[in-house]
Amino acid sequence: MRISTIAIAACLIGGTAVAAPEATPKPVQVPPLPKGAPPNFDAMFGIFDKLFPPQPDPDPARLALARTAAASMWPDGAYGKMMSGFMGGTLEHAMQLKTSDFAAMGGKAAKTETAASGADLSLHDQVAGKDPYFDRRMAAYRQLVDEETAKMSVVIDPRMRDGLARTMARQFDARQLADIDAFFATPSGHALAGQYMQLWVQPDTMRAMFMAMPEMMKLMPEVTQKMKAIDAKFPKPAKPKDDKGKAKP
């Protein structure tokens, strides 16, 4: 797999993992799909409906006001613009990372040794040195991402506007929604609403969330101990037994 492909995938995928107490029951085993079988969206949506139950229609008058606000907050092309800018910007910065940046995670000595070896090249320079068409290929990738996210935006934008409007119609009363619409109708309100989603993926916002991680990680040992203390208050579930009456491992 090419480094460029890995970098693109890294921009699309993210996740976190939190350790659970040992006594926590094992997750429900989901049977694998037959090889080559398409996903069963009906079954998936059935589970989704249980996690996020369908809500009754909100008050029509409040919904009408909320739709005006939602149209300002999520205009056509909002999703495509947000994702294209985020992925493109992240990839460009990722390709400028040097060998020493990765070596630094192994300690100061490793960083110094790498820099002294004269091999402190950026990912871009490493790949472009072997592939004379790398920059042109990446430009084509970027154009493809822009085009495809624009297509996705056509599908997602109206659905997000509808969901956002329905939620706002429940969360705010008619007076509040009228005030929100009035603010969004001003030049400043219009500018804020139109860029609201993009604010969440800007460098300063992303840095703020990431820089909070060390402090959040410091809380985890205490949280884990509290979870274990709660678990210790309750009898452990009986272990299943085999045909000879012995507890299964």
pLDDT digits (tens, 9 = 90+) for 130-176: 999 989 988 998 899 899 999 999 999 999 999 999 999 999 999 99
Q: Which of 6-10, 42-46, 80-84 has the lowest mean pLDDT?
A: 6-10
What share of the chain in percent tops pLDDT 90?
A: 41
Token pair for 223? 């949280």
Q: Which of 74-83, 133-142, 223-232, 235-244 has the lowest mean pLDDT?
A: 235-244
pLDDT of residue 241: 77
Distances (CA, A) of 55 to 41, 46, 50, 164, 184: 20, 15, 12, 13, 27
pLDDT of residue 112: 54
Residue 115 banded pLDDT, cuts 50, 70, 90: low
Q: pLDDT tens, 4-14?
A: 444 444 444 34
- Look up the pTM and report it: 0.66
pLDDT of residue 215: 93
Dist. CA 112–CA 117, nearest whole Å:
9
pLDDT of residue 28: 58
Token pair for 182? 């009035």
pLDDT of residue 170: 96
Residue 110 banded pLDDT, cuts 50, 70, 90: low
Token pair for 36? 């080559």
Asked whether 191 and 199 are in contact (CB, 8 A), the reply is no
pLDDT of residue 32: 67
- Residues 6 or more apart from 19 whose CB is under 8 A from it? 220, 224
- Residues 6 or more apart from 152 whose CB is under 8 A from it? 79, 80, 83
C-alpha 67: how far from its chain's center?
Answer: 26
